Amino acid sequence: MQIALIGPNGDITTQEVIVDNSSDKTVLTYDGTTPVSAVFVNYNDYAFIENVIDPVSLLFFKTHINLIKDDVARALIWFNISAMVRQSLIRVDELVTLVDLNLLNSEPLNFVLDKILE
């Protein structure tokens, strides 16, 4: 499994994690060589498993999700945030604000809208 360590500019550093199936915990140690603003579990795994995003990472994603250039990682983050609404871990109005601030003004969406309106 890979963990994405996301820096303040949206840059992703990956950390390989070996999961010990005989334990209910996996401990990750990081040397701190680069600053980390958010963590995303199961990076580069396209199975779309649901993850609960920690509060510090969620705060970063609420204001900086468009800094993440990896389209699949960004889509997985959106997926997990919407799953957290279904699980009542965040309120729906928080999701609406997040969509309004980030998704409606994102470059990929604007590109699609421009093509539709041509």
Residue 89 has what pLDDT?
A: 94
How far from 58 is each of 4, 40, 78, CA to CA, in Å? 14, 10, 11
Give, as one character, the DSSP assignment of residue 23: S
Please tell me the total count of domains within the chain.
1
Domain holding 50, by residue range, is 2-117
Residue 104 has what pLDDT?
A: 66
- pTM of this prediction? 0.76
| E strand map for the chain | 2-6, 12-16, 38-43
In the chain (118 residues long), the average pLDDT of successive 10-residue segments reads 88 77 73 86 73 91 88 85 91 88 66 56
Residue 101 has what pLDDT?
A: 82
Residue 31 has what pLDDT?
A: 77
Residue 105 has what pLDDT?
A: 62
